[in-house]
């Protein structure tokens, strides 16, 4: 259905920004190398062990690390310099690719060793992905973000449209080891661009979170964000079915079309051409349709392309079918990506994207294995037909769980809160901290207040509060107390600095319902155990009592 929530003014192309343009070109060159390597690995596996399950595992071994390590990588990207993270990941993949090329030339690769190398390259991709995707927001202004994500998808699929064909030529002429060597060289350009980039980032005012704490914060934020949860579920369902086409394409070329590596390259090229078309059309589709309808259209296109591929034995029919599937693939994945980026503030965006990657590529890894097993037991055509049915079912899920229309949601930090002074000295590690806020609510406003506080509780827990509760005084019925805990004073500061402009409406509603003569009263207290009090031999009872009273009454 048409969507009128988008602004009428089209933002400038991200390619007008020098850093985005340089990184985009270098990334596209790297993508060429990656796809050439993928052709070499998949085709070599058909020579080493022509088993449908092992061939499908080449795809799974590349995507599985994304599911396993993305959250860890997202926490690193949100806490460290994303440029340095990307440089480290690119350097690691360069070394692994060189080792893979050497082993290929020496003829020592086995099916297991080939899967190990592709798994390690997948690990580098898993670390690089969240930092790269989150850094796009550091390169372009927010209105240009959807266009930048679409351009990234288009760049990848330009490489997809030509890289596999080039890879097929290289494999046919010089062998798979040459394809691995080309991939190793392709990392150099992106490493050079990233080494020169100096992003203008706001200063970091608080210490970095520990990785475990940061990972938990990312999971908590996504778990308490209904919009992002829906995107992750839909992306996972999409990935399960969508994985069948790229995972089984070597077998489509070998068994359904009865061709060689050049045929395989043509099939991947057709898929990539369709994906480029999908990326080019994404801007116009976003202006005309809601994101839910874009994903439905994409799912139906991919299902139709997969079903046609399943029952075709000629390139004349298979190539356009794969073009249609490729268009659906990139439309859906770029839409999921943009929605997650627009629904997460900058402090947690890499972790949100990491969880999105885990959902989408975890689904792809599982789907690659599932449909590989189906292909081995029942044939490639049956596996592709089953995947098309699953994809159609995923589109129907949108009738129950439609994707959110984020629109112009402003998730920039509110920056209205400042650290309060305390009568009792506290350090960043002091805690636990207990906060209570007193409201006076008239009887007629209780229903509205409870509704607003339900949303307030979600926001508090999402931003790090623990044990959030709402209390009503039995002696004073108009007195309501909001109570929550944080582990330390530093966590209390983080909690309040995570408030965004999008949260203002909830605060405004609650303050409007407060009927007291003054602003809601806030108490900030630190928990103290009586057993932790120092025992002073010369102190009297009065001297012992005073420190405890001060500590427990800090406000």
pLDDT tens digits, one per residue of 158-213: 776 676 667 777 877 777 788 888 888 989 988 999 888 887 766 666 778 888 88
pLDDT value at 541 more than 60: no
For residue 129, what pLDDT band results from cuts at 50, 70 and 90?
A: confident
pLDDT value for 320? 93
List every span in the chain annotated with CATH 1.20.1250.20.
14-198+209-397
Least confident of 38-47, 110-119, 156-165, 285-294: 156-165
Q: Does domain 433-552 have CATH number 3.30.70.100?
A: yes
List every span in the chain annotated with CATH 3.30.70.100.
433-552
pLDDT value at 536 more than 80: no
Q: Give mean pLDDT, residues 333-342.
A: 87
Nearest to 128 by CA among 201, 69, 42: 69
14-198+209-397 fold: Growth Hormone; Chain: A; (1.20.1250)
Alpha-helical segments (H) within 107-144 = 111-139
More confident residue, 441 or 20: 441
pLDDT value for 538? 43
pLDDT value for 480? 96
Q: Give mean pLDDT, residues 487-502.
A: 91
In this predicted model, what pLDDT tens digit does every residue of 426-461 receive, in sequence order? 888 888 999 999 999 999 999 999 999 999 999 999
What is the spatial distance between Cα 508 and Cα 519, in angstroms, rounded to a whole number? 12
Mean pLDDT rounded to a whole number for the chain: 83
What is the spatial distance between Cα 190 and Cα 25, in angstroms, rounded to a whole number? 8
Percentage of the residues of the chain whose pLDDT score is greater than 70: 90
In this predicted model, what pLDDT tens digit does every residue of 240-290 receive, in sequence order? 989 888 888 888 888 888 887 778 778 877 887 888 888 778 778 888 888
pLDDT value for 248? 87
Q: Name, of 204-208, 341-345, 518-522, the range with top average pLDDT.
A: 518-522
pLDDT value for 540? 41
pLDDT value at 545 more than 50: no
Q: Give mean pLDDT, residues 69-94.
A: 89
Contacts of 460 (CB under 8 A, 6+ apart): 468, 484, 495
**Does the CA dihedral 231-233-239-241 come out positive or negative?**
negative
Angle between helices 18-48 and 145-174 (to 10 degrees): 40
Q: Give mean pLDDT, residues 531-535.
A: 56
pLDDT value for 506? 93
| pTM to 2 decimal places | 0.76
């Amino acid at each position: 259905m048409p969507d009128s929530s988008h602004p009428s003014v089209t933002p400038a192309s991200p390619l007008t920004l020098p850093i985005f343009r340089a990184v985009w070109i270098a990334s596209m060159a790297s993508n060429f190398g990656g796809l050439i390597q993928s052709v070499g690995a998949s085709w070599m596996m058909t020579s080493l062990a022509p088993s449908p399950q092992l061939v499908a595992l080449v795809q799974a071994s590349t995507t599985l690390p994304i599911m396993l390590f993305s959250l860890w990588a997202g926490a690193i990207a949100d806490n460290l310099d994303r440029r340095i993270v990307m440089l480290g990941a690119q350097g690691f993949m360069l070394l692994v690719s060189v080792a893979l090329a050497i082993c290929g030339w020496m003829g020592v690769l086995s099916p297991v060793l080939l899967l190990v190398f592709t798994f390690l390259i997948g690990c580098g991709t898993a670390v690089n992905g969240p930092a790269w995707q989150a850094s796009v927001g550091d390169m372009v202004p927010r209105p240009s973000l959807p266009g930048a994500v679409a351009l990234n998808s288009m760049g990848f699929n330009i490489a997809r449209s030509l890289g596999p064909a080039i890879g097929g030529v290289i494999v046919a002429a010089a062998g798979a080891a040459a394809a691995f060597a080309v991939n190793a060289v392709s990392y150099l350009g992106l490493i050079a661009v990233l080494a020169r980039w100096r992003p203008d980032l706001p200063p970091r005012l608080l210490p970095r979170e520990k990785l475990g704490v940061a990972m938990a914060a990312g999971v908590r934020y996504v778990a308490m964000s209904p919009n992002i949860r829906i995107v992750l579920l839909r992306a996972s369902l999409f990935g399960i079915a969508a994985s069948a086409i790229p995972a089984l394409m070597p077998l489509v070329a070998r068994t359904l079309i009865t061709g060689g590596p050049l045929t395989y390259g043509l099939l991947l090229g057709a898929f990539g051409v369709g994906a480029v078309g999908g990326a080019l059309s994404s801007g116009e589709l976003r202006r005309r349709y809601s994101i839910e309808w874009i994903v439905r259209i994409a799912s139906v296109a991919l299902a139709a392309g997969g079903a046609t591929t399943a029952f075709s034995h000629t390139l004349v029919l298979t190539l356009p079918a794969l073009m249609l599937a490729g268009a659906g693939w990139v439309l859906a994945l770029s839409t999921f990506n943009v929605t997650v980026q627009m629904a997460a503030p900058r402090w947690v965006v890499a972790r949100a994207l990491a969880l999105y990657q885990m959902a989408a590529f975890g689904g792809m890894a599982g789907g690659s294995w599932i449909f590989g097993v189906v292909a081995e037991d029942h044939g490639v055509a049956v596996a592709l037909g089953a995947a098309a049915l699953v994809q159609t079912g995923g589109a129907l899920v949108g009738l129950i769980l439609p994707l959110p229309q984020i629109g112009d949601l402003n998730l920039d930090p509110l920056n209205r809160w400042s650290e309060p002074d305390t009568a009792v000295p506290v350090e960043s590690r002091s805690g636990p901290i207990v906060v209570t806020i007193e409201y006076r609510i008239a009887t007629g406003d209780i229903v509205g207040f409870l509704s607003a506080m339900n949303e307030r509780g979600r926001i508090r827990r999402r931003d790090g509060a623990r044990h959030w509760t709402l209390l009503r005084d039995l002696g004073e019925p108009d007195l309501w107390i909001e109570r929550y805990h944080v582990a330390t004073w530093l966590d209390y500061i983080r909690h309040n600095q995570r408030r965004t402009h999008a949260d203002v409406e909830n605060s405004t509603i609650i303050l409007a319902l407060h009927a007291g003569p003054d602003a809601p009263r806030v108490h900030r207290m630190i928990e103290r155990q009586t057993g932790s009090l120092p025992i002073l031999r010369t102190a009297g009872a009065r001297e012992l009592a005073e420190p405890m009273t001060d500590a427990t009454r800090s406000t």
